[in-house]
Structures are given as C-alpha cells and as structure tokens.
Amino acid sequence: MKKIFNFFVVIQLVLLGHGAFAQQKIDSIIDPKMNIEEYLPPLDSLYIIGLRNNPLQRLEQAQANSYYWNMHYVKRIWTQGLGVFYNYSWGNLPFFSGPLTSQGQNVTLLEGYRFGVDLRLNMFDYLGYKGRVGQAREAWEVAKHKKDVEAFNYKKDVADYYTNLVGAQRIFTARNEDLFVQQVACAVAEKEYKEGVIKIGEYARQKNVYAIAVAAQEDARRLYTNYYERLQVILGVKLHNLKRK
C-alpha cells in the first residue's frame, strides 16, 4: 500500500513539473502545445492578410499601378500641343469685322474680350502616338501578369509554410506526450533503484530513454519554431496577433 502511495506521489510531482514546463512560452511565439489550426485564421484568410502586409507583394502592386497610370498619361500626351486663350484686346487694329445686325450692317470691333483654341501637333509625335500608346499598354500588361505570377507563387509559399507549421506542431505534441511518459517512467525507476527494487543497469537504461525523449522534443520544438518564423516573415505580421475570432 505504501509503495502504491509513493508511486502516486511521484506521478503528482511529475505532473506539477510538466504543468510548470507547459506554462513556459518562447517570447512572442504561440505555445506549440496549443492547436495552431484552431488558433490561426483559415489558410485563405492568411493569404489575403499576407497580400496586404507583405512588402514584396505591395511592391508588385505599386509597380503595376505605376504602369497603369503611365499608359493613361501617354494616351493624353497629345494635349501638350493644345492651348486655350482668353484675353482683352484694344488698339487701332480690328480683331473682328462682319455683319452683326439684321439689316446687314458691318461692325468693326477694335477692342473687347476674345478667346479661342490653339492646336499644334509635332508630326513625329503624331505619327508615333499609336506606337507609344501600344508600348505603354503592353508594359502595363506585363506588370499585371508579373504581379499575378508573384501572387500565385506567394500563395504556394504561404500554403507550404502553413502546412509545415501544422505538421511540426503535431510532431511536437506527440514528442511532448512521449517525454511525459518517459519522465514518469524515469521518476519511478529512480525511486525503485533507491529502494533496491531494480539494478543500476535498468535505471541507466531508463535514464537513456528519457534523454532521447528530451532530445526528440527539443528537435520538434526547433522545427516548429523554424516554420513559425518563416510563416510570420512571409505574412509580414506577428502570428500571435492573428488569433481566430
């Protein structure tokens, strides 16, 4: 009976230690013991968030917009030769002469307001206008397609990093559960060794198994942190700020 009681005391101590360990978090990183799929928004939402925040994607969008406005500028460049004037004229030289009355009387105006439109086109600009507009339009189309290709590749990268992060979190969960089991077994083996129930060889073997479990959990944690940071960088935002609502 006393042996069973001591065993449960060992279990409780291990649970307390395991619980304290579970409270430890890497600074600003979601605890790998949490279900990352339930914490983060869906993959499609992450992709949209990344398009808004990733600097490279914003650069591609800005370049496409630049080519778009340049195309519209080239379309209207012919208006450089178009001028509108409005002024007041006076002196002894008429600027209008013609019939202004119903009786056909001629009236000569020596002063007054006048306005008009002046259009001057350079033949080189006129003949090359269509080509320049076409070139600007094609540059805009190239920029659009380049942006679409970058967005497609970006979506693939987001999906890869997300699925790898989810997989790494599941591996960590399995390694963490195995570590807990080995931690309990090692604590029991240590107690039994001290009581003379088992020999040093059996105790050493259990300690070695526990050490392997610790190393495996640390490898899983490192893998999780690696994919966590990669996804965080490619999205351009901190993942702990993206908690699903």
The pLDDT tens digits of the residues spanning 47-82 come to 999 888 887 787 788 888 887 888 877 777 766 666
Q: What is the pLDDT of residues 103-144, one digit of tens each?
A: 555 555 555 556 666 666 666 666 666 777 888 888 878 888
Question: Could you tell me the CA-to-CA distances from 110 to 84, 87, 95 in Å, in that order?
Answer: 21, 14, 6
Report, at the CATH architecture level, how domain 10-78+130-238 is classified.
Up-down Bundle (1.20)
pTM of the predicted model as reported, rounded to 2 decimal places: 0.62
Whether pLDDT at 15 is above 50: no
Whether pLDDT at 89 is above 70: no
Q: What are phi and psi of 92, to 5 degrees?
A: -105, 10
* Domain range list for the chain: 10-78+130-238, 82-119
Whether pLDDT at 1 is above 50: no
Q: What is the pLDDT of residues 189-202, one digit of tens each?
A: 999 989 888 899 99
3-class DSSP assignment, residue 61: helix
